[in-house]
Structure 1
């Protein structure tokens, strides 16, 4: 008998003995379906929710235990996010902050409350250092990974070609937008290019005329955009309006949203976004999503979202959580797990090509694994390019130089621990 069937049988016996339904696995998600970032939040949250709904409908949950994936709306507000954390932490097995600002606020709390943070592809990059950040996980790649890979792609893989170049860094003036600066500043000094930070305030997101006037004046060789929500679409439209060469314009993985480019169509051709996920419309997973979720009306997803970058990225994110739960169940032999168990599961993810094939997710995310010392996995990513109508893969799998990333992460993790002393740090064997 397969392990999940054994776990399900054990759960059923518990239910019968107790005379009531098991409560299941409470894995709340801090959603932002409202506010200035809702255009990105909605497809991401839909993808995450649909994956868990599919597991509940097809498999009875994870290991036969239903997953309660209730949402707590934050509107991307740090204050509301902390309120959601406090409201849910008592019974939740995980916290999913969905904002770098919220992540930074709850990070010290999770050490005390002993509940893991799962922040796929976002949050504080040094969280990769598992010995320091024992309860925080940001697979499959960090913002520093993404920034390095973008610069490497600009350089054509030869960093010496960057000498004398000028790169503008158009970023949201928020912890998320500032996150890559330490790495970019280090790379600029090491490789001899000029980095021009161009911050965009929250109130300026939809009116960036001043920022694009600065970009026109600076005449950078490339623009890297670290944007979110309404900022991205406004920036892309300003780039078109000012005739900035779109093939020299790169975005982080949150700046590769299909509708933002569809709004400019052919004029956006050449725009690029780094991405650790890749839509696969004909995958086995999408067939199951359609059968168990879409066709049965158990979704908030619209037909035009299904093959989009962000919706399918949401599916990948919930897969990481589900696989962490499975790993914890297998490790403990218990179907119903707690936060400490999930911490072990998230620390022992092993998403191989074979595992992706088993899940019907071939090509949707690069393989990666986590460990005590590596809470990110550093999967690598692809460059997606807008062809005038859709995003297409425009590179082989890129990788960040982990000797550069790790040395900076170790230094910043140590700084964080010192600034927040006494901060528990453990030694990891791997």
Structure 2
């Protein structure tokens, strides 16, 4: 029995023998089960909640301390998101903002409040620079990683020199996030990048955008969509007979429900992803036993088979692993926000650890540090086969060295614009 196991056992006995109950680990989620993005928010929130509920039911929480996974509804509104952050920050050990717009608003506050932001696969891309963004984590992969892997995959189909790529994106901080890197890559690799924004009011009627795509005749369409925009774009692509095998989305544009609208007609559509639904993974069986069969899940069988529900599981597993690491390091169950920051900086998701957690095949290995708040997990290219998403690539990893200078440049710009901005000089690269 190792030191941490002995400590956890002792903590459990002490709790059992005491009338005083632990306050719990308060890990609020700024959810969006309502509004124009609810169709994608609901399965993600359900997957997150079910994993935490499973830990509470199966293990008594994490390290003998129950998890308080309260949701604060934002409707994906930046204003409501900031209100939720202010409402929950008092006893929270983490904030999960969910929108890139909310993340950008909360980012400077976390330096003052000293609460880590956990934004898996989203947010401001330079947050990967842990020295500059001490309290922000876009673990296990950021938007620039996604853009790099998409371009890598397209290059695997043939040189991009002289090709044209339409960048169909939500006209929102989220949709604009990869533009600095894509513009540089276009210059370096010789392809023409044609940005095509989709306003929030145009998400379900993109006739103007697809008229432009027909006029431009791009070799590829790269989609940075979200919520209702994805279904609108995929429906228009089918209607205009755009070759679906030449359309690739970011991981938030790979939602099963959007493709089921067009079914077989969507065959060939692709999405990069740092997660994958393995329905035979032990964690899925545990969630069924401890949460679903107990009547404590808001999900359903169809949703639980999809990419987004299972990504929600991975997101909560990442947070839980950060909590475990902090509990072990600081020899306490009820960690604080500062201790969780250390935990999130010391996650080592090896293949062995992924298997121990019952997440086999659901996420690639990754490792964080004080300097690297992303972890460089990479991902897989998924393709819609007419009924579901399947893997059509080996494990892809981003060429982060190619944009390290851009990360440093944009991080320095942000710090200067928000001066005085504390930097973690004690962190060694």
- TM-score, normalization: structure 2? 0.98
The aligned runs of 1:148-297 (5 Å cut-off) are 148-156=148-156, 161-297=159-295
Whole-Å Cα distance in 1 between the matches of residues 119 and 13 of structure 2?
Answer: 32
Asked if structure 1 preserves the Cα contact closer than 8 Å seen for 2:11 and 2:64, the reply is no
Asked if structure 2 preserves the Cα contact closer than 8 Å seen for 1:5 and 1:64, the reply is no
TM-align CA RMSD: 1.2
The aligned runs of 1:1-400 (5 Å cut-off) are 1=1, 3-4=4-5, 6-10=7-11, 12-13=13-14, 16=17, 19-156=19-156, 161-400=159-398
For residues 282-331 of structure 1, give each alpha carbon's deviation from its aligned partner in whole angstroms, at most 9, with x where no partner exists. 11111101100111111101111111100000000000000000000000
For residues 346-373 of structure 1, give each alpha carbon's deviation from its aligned partner in whole angstroms, at most 9, with x where no partner exists. 0101000000110111110000010011
Asked if structure 2 preserves the Cα contact closer than 8 Å seen for 1:4 and 1:64, the reply is no
Cα deviation, residue 203, structure 1:
0.5
For residues 361-401 of structure 1, give each alpha carbon's deviation from its aligned partner in whole angstroms, at most 9, with x where no partner exists. 11100000100110000111100001111111000011111
Whole-Å Cα distance in 2 between the matches of residues 253 and 150 of structure 1?
Answer: 10
Asked if structure 1 preserves the Cα contact closer than 8 Å seen for 2:7 and 2:331, the reply is no
Change (3 A) 1:15 1:107: farther
Whole-Å Cα distance in 2 between the matches of residues 268 and 286 of structure 1?
Answer: 28
Whole-Å Cα distance in 2 between the matches of residues 32 and 218 of structure 1?
Answer: 35
Structure 2 SS opposite 1:72: coil
- TM-score, normalization: structure 1? 0.97
Runs of at least 5 residues in structure 1 that lack an aligned partner in the other structure: none
Whole-Å Cα distance in 1 between the matches of residues 14 and 359 of structure 2?
Answer: 33
Report the number of matched residues.
427
Asked if structure 2 preserves the Cα contact closer than 8 Å seen for 1:48 and 1:315, the reply is yes
Whole-Å Cα distance in 1 between the matches of residues 281 and 374 of structure 2?
Answer: 25
Whole-Å Cα distance in 2 between the matches of residues 13 and 277 of structure 1?
Answer: 38
Cα deviation, residue 271, structure 1:
0.2
Cα deviation, residue 5, structure 1:
5.5
For residues 194-232 of structure 1, give each alpha carbon's deviation from its aligned partner in whole angstroms, at most 9, with x where no partner exists. 000000000100000000000000000000000000000
Cα deviation, residue 20, structure 1:
2.3
For residues 219-257 of structure 1, give each alpha carbon's deviation from its aligned partner in whole angstroms, at most 9, with x where no partner exists. 000000000000000000000000000000000001000
Runs of at least 5 residues in structure 2 that lack an aligned partner in the other structure: none
Whole-Å Cα distance in 1 between the matches of residues 292 and 424 of structure 2?
Answer: 45
